[in-house]
Amino acid sequence: MRSLEPKNRTSVVDIKSLRLITAIKTPYLPNGRFDLEAYDSLMHLQIVNGAEGVIVGGTTGEGHLMSWDEHIMLIGHTVNCFGTSIKVIGNTGSNSTREAKHATEQGFAVGMHAALHINPYYGKTSLKGLVSHFQSVLSMGPTIIYNVPSRTGQDIPPSVIDAISENSNMAGVKECVGNERIQEYTNKGIVIWSGNDDECHDSRWMYGATGVVSVTSNLVPGLMCELMFQGMNPLLNSKLMPLFKWLFQEPNPIGLNTALAQLGVIRPVFRLPYQPLPFAKRVEFVKIVESIGREYFVGEKDVQVLHDEEFLLVDG
Amino acid sequence: MRSLEPKNRTSVVDIKSLRLITAIKTPYLPNGRFDLEAYDSLMHLQIVNGAEGVIVGGTTGEGHLMSWDEHIMLIGHTVNCFGTSIKVIGNTGSNSTREAKHATEQGFAVGMHAALHINPYYGKTSLKGLVSHFQSVLSMGPTIIYNVPSRTGQDIPPSVIDAISENSNMAGVKECVGNERIQEYTNKGIVIWSGNDDECHDSRWMYGATGVVSVTSNLVPGLMCELMFQGMNPLLNSKLMPLFKWLFQEPNPIGLNTALAQLGVIRPVFRLPYQPLPFAKRVEFVKIVESIGREYFVGEKDVQVLHDEEFLLVDG
Amino acid sequence: MRSLEPKNRTSVVDIKSLRLITAIKTPYLPNGRFDLEAYDSLMHLQIVNGAEGVIVGGTTGEGHLMSWDEHIMLIGHTVNCFGTSIKVIGNTGSNSTREAKHATEQGFAVGMHAALHINPYYGKTSLKGLVSHFQSVLSMGPTIIYNVPSRTGQDIPPSVIDAISENSNMAGVKECVGNERIQEYTNKGIVIWSGNDDECHDSRWMYGATGVVSVTSNLVPGLMCELMFQGMNPLLNSKLMPLFKWLFQEPNPIGLNTALAQLGVIRPVFRLPYQPLPFAKRVEFVKIVESIGREYFVGEKDVQVLHDEEFLLVDG
Amino acid sequence: MRSLEPKNRTSVVDIKSLRLITAIKTPYLPNGRFDLEAYDSLMHLQIVNGAEGVIVGGTTGEGHLMSWDEHIMLIGHTVNCFGTSIKVIGNTGSNSTREAKHATEQGFAVGMHAALHINPYYGKTSLKGLVSHFQSVLSMGPTIIYNVPSRTGQDIPPSVIDAISENSNMAGVKECVGNERIQEYTNKGIVIWSGNDDECHDSRWMYGATGVVSVTSNLVPGLMCELMFQGMNPLLNSKLMPLFKWLFQEPNPIGLNTALAQLGVIRPVFRLPYQPLPFAKRVEFVKIVESIGREYFVGEKDVQVLHDEEFLLVDG
């Protein structure tokens, strides 16, 4: 189903150099459908504040709560509106090889610049199965492999990455296992993005990572750029640490969703099984914002402690 | 789910001025999936030969044989690769109002410039139901209404068109009922495209139509441009008449699919329930090409009389 | 994907003998989803009043407004709850051969006793394509072919029926073209069901039809049984004629939906593009019920003239 | 969408008493679609050898590699053909609450006797989110909760089970965390099925478990019945231990799929990302079969060491 249109061709080299990739939030309307106006506004904030790429429909963007047609549509929409200003990386991974292939074909057809691929979570498979799974999709275009055993229940070991690294479409790895693993890869010249905001400063400046796929940059894109672009900065890293900790006290994107709603840049609508952080934590967030400085956060409204009844949970 | 991105906004005025819109063919690979390389090449041929718009996934493009995710993907792909060179009109109509709304939202989200909407074929409805159906989708962006009673089993009468013509997104009507009806509309200032290649010359130059949504322009885009752009030309119209007749002897796109395969610009793959025209008709086509001149037709290979066994029919 | 389980095997002979098949209504909840409680109650009324078969998701049941998963689920549900009391015929036809095959496989897998297949409406095809389309699905189990050119835009001519009649799964034809055509088929021993309530008495008793696929039997199942089971009865036929006329003044199932809501056996919820008949027609229906006798109609509530604001139209 | 049909009502008590529930394998044809003939034959073997329930489309049955329409169809098929002989438990869980609700509604509509629900794997959520997720589906019918942190990346703690145990549809927990956790539940009167074949003997006879949801019973249903029905039997447990170990050396169902193909009861077709165990392991399996006794295993052919080229891997 491949297209040879120049507009659909992207270079792996362009992907390999990205330093700040934001795992962009997907905002919802009260009826549970996408709020594209809010989404476009979040995308603008990323672009003007320096992010170089976005992951569309990642775990942060709740791709696992989308139907595939919603998911591909959102990739196509992002490419169409913002594809000349920022690299669009579609999370077209799946624990089903068939689904991953189909979604990746479609994602590249609508113009995404790269694919993010997870190993088969939940179902899992053998190492041989992992390699086959990734090889089934690598031919289609630039690809980032995503390793997050705390979600998938299965580590992608270096042997698997080595086996697929010969492929010219292999851009690198979004790695969540830690800096020791990152060092092992960067020693071999494999491009790495940290998948943990609280480690990314060290990953980048001490362990050879190229950058980060960040959740926090949804909130403070400018500061995350500073952290990734302008050299070692332990002071800034320390200043952001309470925000990192706050964001990940419950499974992501619970913290992020709560925070963006408090900042007034999205409607306070959650797709179940996600629910907002409790009131006390929302009070804490206001303090964190004040401590870092409201001006560094996206949006222009005052940060608010929303009440329980202001949140809408949708499940249908 | 609306987006306010400037890149996603198109003007109804731009749509209203299109003279040659091609109902573009969707070509297939032997496995029945889209052949995007061939598609891109067909799109290029349209652009370089002067077509101003395309209908993606119309009846000619076999939208009714696509899953919705394929359909929206093809719209997104076309916008992404060719959207700056040609107007992309997605056939996001359906006989289900829910489906039509969903597909149209998605089509505009991935950047289509206008939607084509059919009345509810097969299921049909009352006149009041027709108006409500169209009003459910008109708010989303520029819209062309398509009237083809020989397919839908139900005429869209002028009263329905009048009722929705107040809507600022209403671009006009693709009308197949004939020139008398066209005159009735153009007298009122309603923009009309002929839906019948064999009538379009007269519709345009004698009955006030703005242009044509053409099947034949898949084959001879340059000649169809000449017919639509350069004033009355009964000689050219007569010259093309045998081609028009040949193309529509069986339900479209049977003739078109057969012809494009004979011209060597698509693989001879049909999705059932379509089947190629029989051998004798394929011989006839070669003669028609020779009579009009091979150089006016798309592709550079010799036109061939394919044998039955060269065609592949897929149904799964 | 075939199953050889005896429980999944049905005999064509059993299908061929059905005299009253009801094209059962699909009722909805205010959120637009199926109202299975109301559906089950409608099914009970059919069974206790003598209907021998039901079409699930026909045009009357608004199969064209269902997603395929809803559609197959409803077939499976009907088989599971009522399959030992009544023959369940799934409308698994489509204008896409691929879809028709997939749905028919699934329908037989969940236990339907026969499939109803339409010719490719809207898209249409050649006679050769029609034969191939039907042959693609005939191998799967007992099959009724449905001819209704006023919906499909294309007549299935006798030559096509002849070509597929050799297949041992071919049960017969639901024919809407009229009694002359019916006579032509019954002369040849082809089993026919009338698709027109207003003609079915004559079709059955004067032209050799085996029975009817009825819309009206949703309302007066007992009377329709009498009409089909107990010999020529022009008096009863005349008595029902005003009801037949009332029901089909707008495209079916607009009248039926309105009537069932007025009888209090379904919620007054319509999926667009259908809308209730206007107030004056609802007043007429009450008079027709009174004239025929409330006791012959399904339900036990008084028949009501619902007001416009009592109807709910859903489109999402 | 609820149905009140008696045939669709099942009692939680009936579910609570099941001792041997087989997580049934889904076999495939070479084209990757379901092989329903082989499936029906596997189901028969379960029934005649004493299994009391099946999980349809569990992780063993590769529900995560099915489209939802395939999945619901398979549940409906199983109910229709075997529902009077065995309890049919549909794995209608999902990490999306919307999907879980939709699938569970449909599963009960087509007659499944109970639902199996997983916590949101991969995406994960807060404890509050877990409770809401389960409560969204518990109203629909008898429910078994499934806890397998090694797949989901998140333990369902007893506090969550306690919070939902008040619901009268809560049948019990399929627990994989171990016998200490099982004891904690059974002390409180919560019904437990072991999710680990190698622990199930002890779980049942020493820690109060009611039974097992077994993978191994696909192969030796009679022996697993003996293990669960006839009192403590450490000798039999020891005899089976090498089979248990062999089966789970790679993520399930890799071992099971390989074994069933070697026993000649399914075609050697794998949906990726699963691949057969390597040759040496297949040799080992033959020895295990010989050591336990071929007569205890399903099928009647000789157990074979299949060669690599006999396996077919499908991904499209």
Distance of alpha carbon A238 from alpha carbon A244, whole angstroms:
10
3 state SS of B73: helix
**Exposure class string for A201-228: b at 16+ Cβ within 10 A, else e:** bbbbbebbbbbbbbbbbbbbbbbbbbbb
pTM score: 0.96
Which residues in chain D are closer than 8 Å to C69, comparing Cβ atoms?
Answer: 68-69, 72, 106
| Mean pLDDT value of segment A102-126 | 97
Contact yes or no for D100/D134 (Cβ under 8 A): no
pLDDT of residue B80: 95
Q: Give me the interface pTM, i.e. the ipTM.
A: 0.96
Q: Kindly give, in sequence order, each residue whose CB lies less than 8 Å from that of residue B21, ignoring residues fewer than 6 positions away.
A: B51, B52, B53, B54, B55, B87, B89, B193, B211, B212, B213, B214
Q: Which chains touch C (3 or more CB pairs under 8 A)?
A: B, D
pLDDT of residue B194: 98
**Searching chain A, which residue's CA lies closest to the CA of residue B110?**
A77
Closest Cα in chain A, distance from residue B203 (Å): 36
Which residues of C are tagged catalytic? 146, 174
Percent of chain D clearing pLDDT 70 (strictly above): 100
pLDDT of residue A2: 76
Q: What angle do CA C95, C96, C99 make, to 5 degrees?
A: 120
The DSSP bridge partners found for residue C175 are C147, C194
For chains B and C, CB pairs below 8 A equal: 143
pLDDT tens track for C174-189: 999 999 999 999 999 9
Is the pLDDT reported for residue A7 higher than 80? no
pLDDT of residue D5: 81
Closest Cα in chain A, distance from residue D231 (Å): 33
pLDDT of residue A4: 77
| Mean pLDDT value of segment D206-234 | 98
Is the pLDDT reported for residue D134 higher than 80? yes
Closest Cα in chain C, distance from residue D91 (Å): 16
Distance of alpha carbon B147 from alpha carbon B130, whole angstroms:
12
CA distances, C216 to each of C32, C205, C296 (Å): 24, 18, 12
Q: Which helix (H) or strand (E) holds D283?
A: helix D279-292
User: Which of B95, B251, B272 is opposite residue C124, by nearest beta carbon?
Assistant: B251
Percent of chain A clearing pLDDT 70 (strictly above): 100
User: Could you tell me the sign of the dihedral formed by the alpha carbons of C100, C105, C111, C113, in that order?
Assistant: positive
Which residues in chain B are closer than 8 Å to A111, comparing Cβ atoms?
Answer: 76-77, 80-81
| Mean pLDDT value of segment C121-141 | 98
Phi-psi sector, C197: left (phi>0), alpha (psi -120 to 50), beta: alpha
- Residue that the structure tokens 């499908």 belong to: D314
C124 in D contact zone (CB under 8 Å): no
**Searching chain D, which residue's CA lies closest to the CA of residue C38?**
D3
Largest CA distance in chain B: 54
Question: Which of B96, B139, B152 should we substitute to test contact with C (largest number of C Cβ atoms within 10 Å)?
Answer: B96
pLDDT of residue A195: 98
D105 in A contact zone (CB under 8 Å): no
Is A239 among the residues known to form the active site?
no
pLDDT of residue B3: 81
Is the pLDDT reported for residue B1 higher than 90? no
Q: Do the Cβ atoms of B73 and A4 come within 8 Å?
A: no
Is D128 among the residues known to form the active site?
no
Q: What angle do CA C90, C94, C96 make, to 5 degrees?
A: 145
| Phi and psi angles of residue D175, each rounded to the nearest 5 degrees, phi first | -115, 130
| Phi and psi angles of residue C271, each rounded to the nearest 5 degrees, phi first | -85, 125
pLDDT of residue A48: 98
Contact yes or no for B32/B314 (Cβ under 8 A): yes
pLDDT of residue B249: 98
pLDDT tens track for D168-206: 999 999 999 999 999 999 999 999 999 999 999 999 999
Q: Chain D neighbours among A 84-103 (CB < 8 Å)?
A: 95-98, 101-102
Which residues in chain A are closer than 8 Å to B72, comparing Cβ atoms?
Answer: 69, 72-73, 76
Q: Do the Cβ atoms of B73 and A106 come within 8 Å?
A: yes
Contact yes or no for A82/B45 (Cβ under 8 A): no
| Mean pLDDT value of segment A114-120 | 98
Q: Name residue B49's amino acid.
A: N
Confidence of residue A3 (pLDDT cuts 50, 70, 90): confident
Which residues of B are tagged catalytic? 146, 174
pLDDT of residue C2: 76
| Mean pLDDT value of segment B260-284 | 98
Q: Residue C58 has what DSSP assignment? A: S
Closest CA to D10 of D143, D134, D152: D143
pLDDT tens track for C5-40: 877 678 999 999 999 999 999 999 999 999 999 999
Q: Do the Cβ atoms of C97 and B272 come within 8 Å?
A: yes
Is the pLDDT reported for residue A9 higher than 80? no
Q: Name residue C13's amino acid.
A: V
Distance of alpha carbon C41 from alpha carbon C45, whole angstroms:
6
User: Could you tell me the sign of the dihedral formed by the alpha carbons of B140, A316, D7, D113, in that order?
Assistant: positive
pLDDT tens track for D70-99: 999 999 999 999 999 999 999 999 999 999
| Mean pLDDT value of segment B167-186 | 98
Closest Cα in chain B, distance from residue C89 (Å): 19
Distance of alpha carbon C149 from alpha carbon C119, whole angstroms:
9
Helices (H) and strands (E) in chain D, counts: 13, 10
C37 in D contact zone (CB under 8 Å): yes
A9 in B contact zone (CB under 8 Å): no
| Phi and psi angles of residue C139, each rounded to the nearest 5 degrees, phi first | -70, -15
pLDDT of residue B7: 72
| Alpha-carbon dihedral angle through residues B308, B312, B316, C4, given to the nearest 10 degrees | 50
Closest Cα in chain B, distance from residue A173 (Å): 27
Helices (H) and strands (E) in chain C, counts: 13, 10
Which residues in chain A are closer than 8 Å to B39, comparing Cβ atoms?
Answer: 3
- Residue that the structure tokens 């053409």 belong to: B214
| Phi and psi angles of residue D169, each rounded to the nearest 5 degrees, phi first | -85, -5
Q: Do the Cβ atoms of D81 and C111 come within 8 Å?
A: yes
Which residues in chain C are closer than 8 Å to B125, comparing Cβ atoms?
Answer: 250-251, 254, 273-275
Which residues in chain C are closer than 8 Å to D34, comparing Cβ atoms?
Answer: 1, 109
Count of Cβ atoms closer than 10 Å to residue A84 Cβ: 8
B79 in A contact zone (CB under 8 Å): yes
A73 in B contact zone (CB under 8 Å): yes
- Residue that the structure tokens 């039509």 belong to: B100
Is the pLDDT reported for residue A262 higher than 80? yes
Confidence of residue A49 (pLDDT cuts 50, 70, 90): very high
Is the pLDDT reported for residue D229 higher than 80? yes
Share the mean pLDDT of chain A: 97
Distance of alpha carbon A80 from alpha carbon D80, whole angstroms:
48
pLDDT of residue C3: 81
Q: Name residue B195's amino acid.
A: G
Q: Do the Cβ atoms of A69 and B74 come within 8 Å?
A: no
Q: Do the Cβ atoms of A4 and B37 come within 8 Å?
A: yes
Q: Chain A neighbours among B 155-174 (CB < 8 Å)?
A: none
Is the pLDDT reported for residue A8 higher than 80? no
DSSP D28-68: B-TTSSB-HHHHHHHHHHHHHTT--EEEESSTTTTGGGS-H
Confidence of residue D274 (pLDDT cuts 50, 70, 90): very high
Closest Cα in chain D, distance from residue C8 (Å): 7
Distance of alpha carbon D111 from alpha carbon D76, whole angstroms:
7
Helices D68-82 and D36-48 cross at an angle (nearest 10°) of 50
User: Could you tell me the sign of the dihedral formed by the alpha carbons of C172, C178, C180, C181, in that order?
Assistant: negative
Confidence of residue B253 (pLDDT cuts 50, 70, 90): very high
Is the pLDDT reported for residue D6 higher than 80? no
| Mean pLDDT value of segment B186-203 | 98
Q: Which chains touch D (3 or more CB pairs under 8 A)?
A: A, C
| Mean pLDDT value of segment C231-256 | 98
3 state SS of D171: strand
| Mean pLDDT value of segment A54-69 | 97
User: Which of B3, B79, B106 is opposite residue A37, by nearest beta carbon?
Assistant: B3
**Searching chain B, which residue's CA lies closest to the CA of residue C119?**
B273
Which residues in chain C are closer than 8 Å to D68, comparing Cβ atoms?
Answer: 69
Q: For residue A172, what are its two tokens?
A: 């690198």
Closest Cα in chain B, distance from residue C122 (Å): 4
Closest Cα in chain B, distance from residue C133 (Å): 5
Percent of chain D clearing pLDDT 90 (strictly above): 96
Is the pLDDT reported for residue A228 higher than 90? yes
Q: Name residue C145's amino acid.
A: I
Q: Residue D294 has what DSSP assignment? A: G
B8 in C contact zone (CB under 8 Å): no
Q: Do the Cβ atoms of B36 and A81 come within 8 Å?
A: no
SS (H, E, C) chain A: CCCCCHHHCCCHHHHHCCCEEEECCCCECCCCCECHHHHHHHHHHHHHCCCCEEEECCCCCCHHHCCHHHHHHHHHHHHHHHCCCCEEEECCCCCCHHHHHHHHHHHHHCCCCEEEEECCCCCCCCHHHHHHHHHHHHCCCCEEEEECHHHHCCCCCHHHHHHHCCCCCEEEEEECCCHHHHHHHHHCCCCEEECCHHHHHHHHHHCCCCEEEECHHHCCHHHHHHHHHCCCCHHHHHHHHHHHHHHCCCCCCHHHHHHHHHCCCCCCEEECCCCCCCHHHHHHHHHHHHHHCHHHCCCCCCCCCCCHHHCEEECC
Distance of alpha carbon A284 from alpha carbon A66, whole angstroms:
30
| Mean pLDDT value of segment D33-61 | 98
Contact yes or no for D38/D233 (Cβ under 8 A): no
Distance of alpha carbon A60 from alpha carbon A218, whole angstroms:
10
User: Which of B3, B40, B74 is opposite residue A81, by nearest beta carbon?
Assistant: B3
Helices A97-109 and B68-82 cross at an angle (nearest 10°) of 30
Distance of alpha carbon D264 from alpha carbon A107, whole angstroms:
40
User: Which of C40, C70, C80 is opposite residue D80, by nearest beta carbon?
Assistant: C80
Confidence of residue B302 (pLDDT cuts 50, 70, 90): very high
Strands B312-314 and B87-90: unpaired
A72 in B contact zone (CB under 8 Å): yes
pLDDT of residue B316: 73
Count of Cβ atoms closer than 10 Å to residue A171 Cβ: 30
Distance of alpha carbon C108 from alpha carbon C101, whole angstroms:
11
Which residues in chain C are closer than 8 Å to D81, comparing Cβ atoms?
Answer: 3, 5, 7-8, 111
